[in-house]
C-alpha cells in the first residue's frame, strides 16, 4: 500500500453530479450521466450520485405515465450500465420504474456493468406544489423484493445497504429527496444498519431561504447519524412552468460541510470531497448511544439487506488527498469563528474557576506568574473569575518567583502583567531556599559545581509550588494551576509541582496553540489598557522555555522547549487526532504532512509570509515518534494524578476521570511499530 494514496488511510472520494436536464429525453440524459460518471472516475471518485429522476427529468408530470417515456428511461439506464463496466465507480442514477402495475420513483445503484439494486422512494410529497402520489407509488407498496432487469435478478426495496467489497467501512445507504424531510428519514435506519455514506437523489425546487433549510437538514442528519451525506439536487433544464430549480450539490460529514456546488448554474457541474471513513468508525465506537439505538430498533434494522458491491479501492500509487486539513485543529481558521471560540473558551474556564471558588467558600485565589504563556492565561482567567463574582481583582494573590535562570525579560513581563491587571502582586526570590535544599540533599551545586541536572531543575520547581501552597493556606485561597493540555500530553511537567499540581487547573484541557490565540484575542479585544495589551503581546513573542538552567550572557535561554518535545504546532496536531479519534500513527502522519508540507498555504490568510512554516515528511515522522513515546510510555502517571479542571473542547481532555483513562505502565511499542512499518523513513 502506498502511503501517498488516500485509500490507504480509509478515505474515499465522493462525487455529486448535477447535469443539465433534457426534459423527457432519456437518451440525452444518459449521455450527461455517462459524461459525469466518467469525469468523477477521472477525479478518483469511488462513488457518484446524480439527481432524482435524472434520466427523464423530475418535472415530466403526466408524461411519466406514457409507456414510451418509461421504455426510453429503461433503455437509457442500460446505456449507463454498459458505460460503467469500464469505471471503478459506484453510480446512483434516478428513473421511473414500473413493476406489478405501479410506477416507482427509484434510484438505480450501478457498478461494473451491473445494476446492484433499485431503491424506491419511501415518502412521496403530496402537498403545496408537490403531487407525486398522482404518478408514483411509495416504497411500502412494493409487492416483491426482487425484480428482473436486463436478464438478471435485482434487489428491489428501500431496505438495502450496499457494502463495498474492497473497503468494508464504505457502506452506502440511499434515500430520495422528501425522505430527508420526514421525522424519521430512511437514512436513520440505514445508518443503524451500517451505512456510513448516504446518497440522496433529489429534485427539491428553489424558493427563498429553502437552500439554507436544506443545508441544515443535510448537516444535521449527517451529524445525528454519524455518516457522510451526499446530496444531488436537480437543476437547469427542468420545467419552469411553476417552479425554479437550483441544482444544489452538497457533501457533508458528521455535521461538517465538506463541499458545496454553485447553485443556479446553467452548465453541468461535478462536486467532489474526500470522506474520512475512519473518523466515522471512530465516532461510532465512542458514542455508545449509537449502538444502543441500533439495538432498540433491532427488528427494523435486521430487515436491511446487505448487497455486495464488486469494487476494489486501489491503494497502490499516489492518489493525493484533496481535502484540506486545518493546521491548528484546536483553533478555527475563520476569524469570526475563531473569535467566538475564544469567547466560549473564556466562558468555560471562568465559570469553572468561579464555581470552584464558591464551593471552597473562598474569595481569593493564589497564582504563580512566570511571565510565560500558561501562567498569563491562568492570570486572565483568575481576574475574570473575580469580575464574575463581583470581587476585586486585588483578591488574586499573584506572586512571581525568580530562580537561578529567570531572565530579565520574563521577570519584567510578570511584573508588568500583575500591575496591568490590578492584582495583589509580590516577588519571592526562591534562590536562597533552593540553595538550602540543594545543600541539604548534598547536590554538587551546593559545593560550587555547575551541575544543572534534573534535580537542580526540580528543586526550583518544587520550591515555587511549596510557596504557592503555603500562601494558599495563609490566605484560605486555592492555588490556580497553569499547566496546559499540550504539556500534560507530552509529560513536559514536573510531578507534584505547579505545572502538574494545583487545587484547580483552569488550563488542563487547553492546548498550547489555543492558549496563544486566546491571549492574542484578549490583547486585541479593545477592553484592556494599552499597557496590558502590550504586555500580552510581549508574552506571545517570548520563546517558550522552562528557564530552570542558566542561559547565555546575552539573555538567550539555555532551554528551548520545542527543541526537546517538538514544535507545539505539530504536537498539538498529533494530540488532536490521536486522542480525539484514536487514529493509527500512519494516518496521523498522513494528515499532518498534508496540512504542513506547503508553506505557501500559511496558517490563515492573515499570517505574514515570513511566519509561514512547512514540515516535510521526515520532520513530521521524527516529532510524531517523540509524541508517541512521551504520550503512551512516559507520562500517564503524571496525568493519573492531575487536579480538577474544566473540559473546554471536543478535542478532549486527558483527565483520568473523563476523556482519557490508561495504565501508567504501558509502552509505545505498538504505535512505533505501526509508524515505522507504514510511514516512509
- Percent helix, strand, coil in the chain, to 5, is 45, 15, 40
Q: What are phi and psi of 504, to 5 degrees?
A: -155, 125
CA distance 238 to 552: 75
Cβ atoms of 171 and 209 within 8 Å: the answer is no
Tell me the C-alpha to C-alpha distance, in Å, between residue 540 and each of 26, 227, 514, 571. Answer: 63, 40, 12, 18
CA distance 456 to 404: 10
Q: Is 52 a catalytic residue?
A: yes
Residues sharing a CB contact under 8 Å with residue 319, sequence separation 6 or more, in sequence order: 4, 5, 6, 7, 13, 44
Out of 48, 111, 177, 434, which one is annotated catalytic? Answer: 177
Cβ atoms of 77 and 108 within 8 Å: the answer is yes
Cβ atoms of 456 and 548 within 8 Å: the answer is yes
Alpha helices per DSSP H over 608-663: 617-628, 636-639
> Quick one: cell of 253?
460529514
DSSP letters for 374-393: HHHHHHHHHHHHHHHTT--G
Q: Which of 95, 51, 43, 280 is nearest to 172 (CA)?
A: 280
> Quick one: cell of 514?
489555543
398 forms bridges with which residues in the sheet? 367, 425
Q: Is 60 a catalytic residue?
A: no
CA distance 188 to 192: 6
Q: Is 177 a catalytic residue?
A: yes
Q: CA-based angle 200:194:183, to the nearest 5?
A: 50
> Quick one: cell of 425?
502582586
Residues sharing a CB contact under 8 Å with residue 221, sequence separation 6 or more, in sequence order: 180, 185, 187, 188, 198, 227, 229
Run of H or E residues at 674: helix 669-678
**CA-based end-to-end distance of the chain:** 15
CA distance 12 to 162: 15
427 forms bridges with which residues in the sheet? 400
Cβ atoms of 97 and 104 within 8 Å: the answer is yes
* Sheet of 90-99, strands arranged across: 114-120, 102-111, 90-99, 47-49, 11-18, 269-276
Out of 48, 111, 121, 592, which one is annotated catalytic? Answer: 121
Out of 52, 175, 268, 487, which one is annotated catalytic? Answer: 52
Cβ atoms of 172 and 90 within 8 Å: the answer is yes
Strands 160-164 and 171-176: antiparallel
Which residues does the annotation mark as catalytic? 52, 121, 177
Amino acid at each position: 500500500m502506498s502511503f501517498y494514496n488516500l485509500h490507504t488511510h480509509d478515505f474515499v472520494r465522493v462525487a455529486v453530479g448535477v447535469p443539465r436536464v433534457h426534459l423527457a429525453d432519456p437518451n440525452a440524459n444518459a449521455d450527461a450521466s455517462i459524461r459525469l460518471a466518467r469525469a468523477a472516475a477521472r477525479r478518483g471518485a469511488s462513488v457518484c450520485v446524480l439527481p432524482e429522476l435524472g434520466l427523464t427529468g423530475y418535472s415530466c408530470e403526466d408524461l411519466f405515465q406514457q409507456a414510451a417515456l418509461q421504455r426510453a428511461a429503461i433503455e437509457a439506464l442500460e446505456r449507463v450500465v454498459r458505460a460503467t463496466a469500464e469505471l471503478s465507480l459506484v453510480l446512483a442514477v434516478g428513473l421511473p420504474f414500473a413493476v406489478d402495475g405501479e410506477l416507482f420513483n427509484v434510484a438505480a445503484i450501478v457498478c461494473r456493468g451491473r445494476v446492484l439494486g433499485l431503491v424506491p422512494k419511501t415518502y412521496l410529497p403530496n402537498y403545496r406544489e408537490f403531487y407525486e402520489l398522482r404518478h408514483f407509488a411509495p416504497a411500502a407498496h412494493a409487492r416483491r423484493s426482487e425484480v428482473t432487469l436486463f436478464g438478471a435478478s435485482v434487489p428491489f426495496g428501500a431496505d438495502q445497504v450496499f457494502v463495498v467489497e474492497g473497503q468494508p467501512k464504505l457502506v452506502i445507504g440511499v434515500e430520495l429527496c422528501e425522505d430527508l424531510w420526514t421525522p424519521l428519514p430512511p437514512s436513520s435506519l440505514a445508518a443503524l444498519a451500517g451505512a456510513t455514506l448516504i446518497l440522496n437523489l433529489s429534485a427539491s425546487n428553489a424558493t427563498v431561504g429553502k437552500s439554507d433549510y436544506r443545508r441544515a437538514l443535510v448537516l444535521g442528519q449527517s451529524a445525528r447519524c454519524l455518516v457522510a451525506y451526499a446530496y444531488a439536487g436537480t437543476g437547469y433544464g427542468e420545467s419552469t412552468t411553476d417552479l425554479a430549480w437550483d441544482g444544489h450539490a452538497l457533501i457533508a460529514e458528521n455535521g461538517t460541510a465538506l463541499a458545496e456546488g454553485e447553485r443556479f448554474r446553467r452548465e453541468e457541474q461535478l462536486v467532489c470531497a474526500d470522506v474520512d471513513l475512519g473518523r466515522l468508525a471512530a465516532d461510532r465506537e465512542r458514542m455508545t448511544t449509537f449502538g444502543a439505538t441500533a439495538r432498540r430498533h433491532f427488528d427494523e434494522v435486521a430487515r436491511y439487506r446487505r448487497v455486495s458491491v464488486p469494487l476494489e479501492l486501489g491503494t497502490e500509487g499516489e492518489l493525493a488527498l484533496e481535502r484540506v486539513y486545518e493546521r491548528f485543529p484546536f483553533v478555527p481558521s475563520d476569524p469570526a469563528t475563531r473569535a467566538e471560540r475564544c469567547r466560549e473558551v473564556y466562558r468555560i474556564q471562568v465559570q469553572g474557576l468561579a464555581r470552584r471558588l464558591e464551593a471552597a467558600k473562598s474569595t481569593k485565589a493564589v497564582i504563580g506568574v512566570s511571565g510565560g504563556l500558561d501562567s498569563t492565561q491562568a492570570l486572565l482567567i483568575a481576574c475574570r473569575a473575580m469580575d464574575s463574582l463581583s470581587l476585586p481583582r486585588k483578591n488574586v494573590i499573584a506572586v512571581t518567583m525568580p530562580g537561578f535562570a529567570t531572565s530579565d525579560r520574563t521577570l519584567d513581563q510578570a511584573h508588568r502583567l500583575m500591575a496591568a491587571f490590578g492584582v495583589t502582586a509580590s516577588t519571592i526570590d526562591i534562590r536562597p531556599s533552593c540553595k538550602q535544599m540543594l545543600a541539604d540533599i548534598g547536590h554538587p551545586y551546593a559545593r560550587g559545581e555547575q551541575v544543572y541536572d534534573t534535580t537542580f531543575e526540580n528543586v526550583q520547581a518544587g520550591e515555587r509550588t511549596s510557596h504557592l501552597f503555603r500562601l494558599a493556606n495563609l490566605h484560605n485561597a486555592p492555588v490556580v494551576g497553569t499547566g496546559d493540555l499540550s504539556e500534560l500530553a507530552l509529560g513536559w511537567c514536573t510531578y507534584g509541582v505547579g505545572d502538574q499540581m494545583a487545587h484547580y487547573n483552569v488550563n488542563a484541557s487547553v492546548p498550547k496553540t489555543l492558549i496563544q490565540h486566546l491571549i492574542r484575542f484578549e490583547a486585541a479585544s479593545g477592553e484592556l489598557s494599552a499597557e496590558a495589551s502590550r504586555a500580552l503581546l510581549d508574552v506571545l513573542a517570548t520563546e517558550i522555555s522552562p528557564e530552570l538552567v542558566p542561559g547565555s550572557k546575552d539573555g538567550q535561554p539555555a532551554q528551548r522547549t520545542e527543541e526537546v518535545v517538538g514544535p507545539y504546532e505539530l504536537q498539538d496536531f498529533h494530540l488532536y487526532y490521536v486522542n480525539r479519534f484514536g487514529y493509527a500513527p500512519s494516518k496521523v502522519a498522513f494528515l499532518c504532512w498534508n496540512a504542513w508540507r506547503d508553506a505557501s498555504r500559511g496558517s490563515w490568510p492573515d499570517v505574514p509570509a515570513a511566519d509561514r512554516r512547512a514540515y516535510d515528511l521526515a520532520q513530521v515522522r521524527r516529532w510524531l515518534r517523540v509524541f508517541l513515546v512521551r504520550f503512551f510510555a512516559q507520562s500517564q502517571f503524571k496525568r493519573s494524578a492531575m487536579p480538577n479542571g474544566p473540559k473546554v473542547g471536543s478535542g478532549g481532555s486527558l483527565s483520568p476521570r473523563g476523556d482519557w483513562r490508561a495504565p501508567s505502565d504501558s509502552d509505545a511499542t505498538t504505535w512505533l511499530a505501526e509508524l515505522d512499518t507504514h510511514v516512509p523513513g
